[in-house]
Structure 1
Amino acid sequence: MRLRRSRGSDRAVILQAASVCLSYPDDDVLAMMPLLDAALTEQPDGDAASCQLREFVAYVRETDPMPLRQQYIDTFDLSRKHTLYLTYWSAGDTRRRGAMLGEFKQRYRDGGFLVDLRGELPDHLPIVLEFAARVDPRAGTDLLTEHRQALELLRLSLIEQQSRYAQVVGAVCTTLPGVSPTDRQAVMAMRDAPTPIETVGLEPFDPRLLPITPSPVAPESMSRAR
């Protein structure tokens, strides 16, 4: 089967499905898996992103909830190597990150995206994906493209961990222009590649910038696909 890239409304379905898949797998998220499977099944044959997401959705539907939740916590909440906060990849624990987070909030305001983050930061990938899927496709795609290196580094880190979530991030990357790099060296060679993550000592680390304490539930503020 020849795989092709998602376009137009197809991309919106992919990004919204990825947003749900990258959210904490509480009961509400798990209940949406049949709906996601149905929506992805309607995508054109050979679509690379939908193929990856359907495999992930099938895995979730076949796995008990408790292991899924522990896996999510271990992968995203307890390790900065797989953080879903996009600006951390390029700004680390620096003052510059605050300005970058402000840019995300401004993009949301410009697009009329009214969301109560409730403890999450505006660069949290599921939130960015929902913005791109349901509110402002152009501005959302711009944000994802501007942080393409972060997405690719996250994808590679998840592949190294042999995490199923690599399929989801890979599907997102497939919707963006160009071909995904095959290794970190190639990612760092991309234009405007991020500097390596580091703490520069400008001020004490603020844990609110990167929550690493497991949360028992996913943010209720995100609107769900219907």
Structure 2
Amino acid sequence: MGLLARVLDRGAGPTAHPRGDVRDPLHASGLALDELRATWACASWLIGYPGPEMLAQLPTIRAVARSVPGRAGVALGEAVAALAGNDLIELQEAYVDTFDTRRRGCLYLTYFSQGDTRRRGMALVRIKQDFRRAGVELGDDELPDHLGVVLEFAAGHDAEAGAKILRQNRAGVELLRLHLEEIDSPWNGVLRAVCATLPPLDADDREAVLRLAAEGPEEELVGLDGYGAEPGTAPSALPGGGCSSHDGPGAPAARPGPVDIEIMRGRAR
């Protein structure tokens, strides 16, 4: 816990994002809108379950990352370098071990902020409503709080709403970053890039991260029928433990598809 607190303190303070307004999640990083969208588009590709298409896109993602200034661009470049050249099967096995078997590796954001409780269902509904207002409809078997889906939404549809979702789940994103750093994951740079687009941790964020690290997400053992379903819809099952990221909810076939990385090339200034 002492080490975790020191790591958190290194990223805290008013100088973490000197050009930004910490009160505004869309501008707190000091990055321009095109730079934010480029970062989120790259991260959405890199954090997805690795397949031949993602590996084929790495040169383009690398080129886009070079156009992003500061820590976000550096972190994306390091993530591309860590993933490139790996055997696909070994990379897929590492992905499953990293994100599907460890609670701290969960890619579903509201699992950290709400745990396995009724409140998580309402949080999912609110995110779906944000998507719907931007004209994005997800399939019934898709959970909208998957980090890759939120990044796609922020990059390609509504940057302000996407930044708000990320900011509301800041503690979970930070805990995921710390976990990937601790295990020296090749995906660590992706989370560092995402965190570089967000406001610095405040006191409440740091307290929430420490509490999550010590106690884990909250659990509610009864009364979860219809968990996450909107009124008038059939109950929908969450993935086991809220953390399966590539089989079932969050599977590529059910997603609107990653933002076309080609359209982001050269957009960041």
Q: TM-score, normalised by structure 1?
A: 0.84
Match of 1:127 among 138, 149, 174: 149
CA deviation profile, 1:185-207 (whole Å, cap 9, x unmatched): 972268xx998413232246986
Q: What is the aligned partner in structure 1 of residue 256 from structure 2?
A: 222
Q: Distance in 2 between matches of 1:64 and 1:35?
A: 19
- Gap change, CA 1:159 and 1:213, over 3 Å in 2: closer
Q: What is the aligned partner in structure 1 of residue 78 from structure 2?
A: 55
Residue pair 1:43, 1:50 contacting (<8 A) in 2 also? yes
Report the CA distance between 1:170 and its aligned residue: 1.3
Q: What is the aligned partner in structure 2 of residue 171 from structure 1?
A: 193
Within a 5 Å distance, the mapping from 1:31-110 to structure 2 comes to: 31-44=56-69, 47-110=70-133
Report the CA distance between 1:218 and its aligned residue: 4.7
Q: What is the aligned partner in structure 2 of residue 208 from structure 1?
A: 238
Structure 2 counterpart SS, 1:25: coil
Letter in 2 for 1:150: G
- Gap change, CA 1:35 and 1:218, over 3 Å in 2: farther
Within a 5 Å distance, the mapping from 1:11-30 to structure 2 comes to: 11-30=36-55
CA deviation profile, 1:117-142 (whole Å, cap 9, x unmatched): 7x431100000011111101111111
Q: Distance in 2 between matches of 1:156 and 1:203?
A: 33
CA RMSD of aligned residues (A): 2.9
Q: Distance in 2 between matches of 1:11 and 1:211?
A: 26
Match of 1:149 among 139, 160, 171: 171
- Gap change, CA 1:140 and 1:186, over 3 Å in 2: closer
Residue pair 2:83, 2:186 contacting (<8 A) in 1 also? no
Report the CA distance between 1:96 and its aligned residue: 1.2
Number of matched residues? 216
Report the CA distance between 1:71 and its aligned residue: 0.7
Q: Distance in 1 between matches of 2:45 and 2:87?
A: 18
Q: TM-score, normalised by structure 2?
A: 0.71
Match of 2:134 among 111, 115, 118: 111
Q: Distance in 2 between matches of 1:179 and 1:61?
A: 31
Flag the structure with larger Rg: 2
Q: Distance in 2 between matches of 1:60 and 1:88?
A: 26
Report the CA distance between 1:214 and its aligned residue: 6.3
Matched-pair identity in %:
36
Q: Distance in 2 between matches of 1:213 and 1:141?
A: 21
Residue pair 1:153, 1:187 contacting (<8 A) in 2 also? no
Structure 1 counterpart SS, 2:200: coil
Residue pair 2:48, 2:148 contacting (<8 A) in 1 also? yes
Q: Distance in 1 between matches of 2:57 and 2:202?
A: 29
Q: Distance in 2 between matches of 1:176 and 1:211?
A: 23
Structure 2 counterpart SS, 1:109: helix
Structure 1 counterpart SS, 2:84: helix
Q: Distance in 2 between matches of 1:128 and 1:34?
A: 23
